[in-house]
Structure 1
Amino acid sequence: MENTQVHTSSFSILSDLKELTKVRLAVSVVFSSVAGYFLGAETIDFVTVLMLGIGGYCLVGASNAYNQILEKDLDALMDRTGDRPIPSGRMSVTTAFFIASLLTILGLVILYLINPVTSMFGAISIFLYVSVYTPLKTKTPLSVFVGAFPGAIPFMLGWVAATGDFSIEPGTLFMIQFFWQFPHFWALGWWLYDDYKKGGFFMLPTGKKDKGTAVQIVLYTVWTILVSLIPAFGVTGKLFLSPVSAVLVLILGLFMLKYALKLYKKRDSKSAKQLMLASVSYITLLQIIYVLDKFIRLWI
């Protein structure tokens, strides 16, 4: 009986830790960073890849933990977040703060061991997310614009980890993920509008599920597609995309645009959820295509 209680307690702690650090989101961010590393590295160092993964997870996990500390009272008001460790009372703010601080230090040190520039961008990311984006979420829809900066860093962070400097190539990777965030988060904000409203969050550009928001979602989707195709024109240094891969990225983009136009036409929660899922597929598959394109060209 005692062993069962210990097992259940350990499982509960692990489950709360995963929820505090938002494990699925953190893994997707690490995936972006590793994709960026593969694009920037001349030779793959798997120790560096592992360090980037661990360091990246620590910083994303820390950002999410700080976020949940700051928003604990608002999280308690929403259906989606009411059962998180802090608002539910399963974890104290002190414990969460200790975990967040430990993860911050670990993450920055690990990224510094890769190179100082990577650690610097990691620090900028966590600062913007926690100190600027999080407080603005209840104040203005411009919070999404601010949040797009730390959200766009992971893809380019991998390139910086591989090369040690910031130039046109990681800048392009940054821009791709920067523009992508708008249709992604606005679709999410539309889908979960009523729940966000309970917490007092302003996620949509006009503040409402209206034509103005739908138009901006379509426009930013188009800009995301255009920026994603820039490397095919040979103007982004060592970051290059072959014509075949550019066509594949365009097809992915048109697939996402289809759902953006569907949301514009129907303006319902179902269409918003479909666009949100399509946007996740878009960025993940785009990163895979970019990486495969590089290595297929090297092998050929």
Structure 2
Amino acid sequence: MPIISKNKPYSFIKNLEFYTIKRIKDMGSHPSEDHLNKLLELFKQDLSIDLKREIASSIGRQLDDDIIYNFLKQEAFKEHYMEVVYQFLRTALYKSKDMRFAKSCDDLLQYYQNENMQKMKQYYDYRHAKKPPLKIIENIIKKPSLLVGDNAQTLNKIAPSSVNLIFTSPPYYNARIYSDYKNYKDYLSAMSQSLKACFRVLEEGRFIIINVSPIITKRAGREFESVRYPIHFDFHQILIDNGFYFVDEILWIKPDFSVPNRIGGYLQNKKPLGYKPNCVSESLLVYRKKAPFLLDKNIKIAEKRLKPIKQNHTLFGK
């Protein structure tokens, strides 16, 4: 079925340079039969991914659902950049009251099996569901507490979803007196239990920051090799498995070496294979507890909490 106006044929677009991203956005903001026809014709052209993305988005903002549906049906499963495919899904989501688009949405999710598209669906469903009023937790800790012990147990004393931020520096695998595990697998398992407890107490959409770095274990003798563990890499999967998602990594440049004089052997014999750099950095891994909403909601809640504090001009009130 042709995806073009029912009333009049449309002539080929000759001056492609005329159609900038700004102009295409404007066509999307002012839906009309003429704009829809031009956008459909533009989509066929060999254009940059940024233009294609904006054209797909603007087509979805037009009013003729029959033509838009046929456009999706013809294009959604062809070979396109994923940024363009995301716009196909966006159109299907916002027009999903029409069962044809609801079916297109399901088909797109099933076909691409893409994690970003799944997240788009979650966000859309959350925004369009009836929600309870914002829960405002008391903004002042009236009785600060210090919990001593294994946090996998002590965190059980804290109410679920009551913590705004977690910053932690886990024990280094068998590198300090306080840390002694039978093997690396046991260490990672213990860290997973702790992070599971952190997930329970952390508010939805809030951040957890992990200060960690690779660690090297001492060798048993000169004839044996020491082992270096990429703890920060392994922590990523543990965090993902426990319901967090990656936001960023901050590199902390330290004033002193974490392992002193690792470069000493190389400086003595100048053998390239013996080179080991002095480590001067640690990672601050920034993750967010999964939530079906944008960070804007957390900001809105925080502003409500801070309002009485700003009015009193003091953290602890008058």
TM over 0.5: no
Point out which structure has higher relative CO (alpha carbons under 8 A, 6+ apart).
1
Query: Structure 1 length as normaliser, TM-score?
Result: 0.23
Find the structure with the greater CA-based Rg: 2
Instruction: Choose between structure 1 and 2: higher strand proportion.
Output: 2
Query: Structure 2 length as normaliser, TM-score?
Result: 0.22
Instruction: Choose between structure 1 and 2: higher helix proportion.
Output: 1
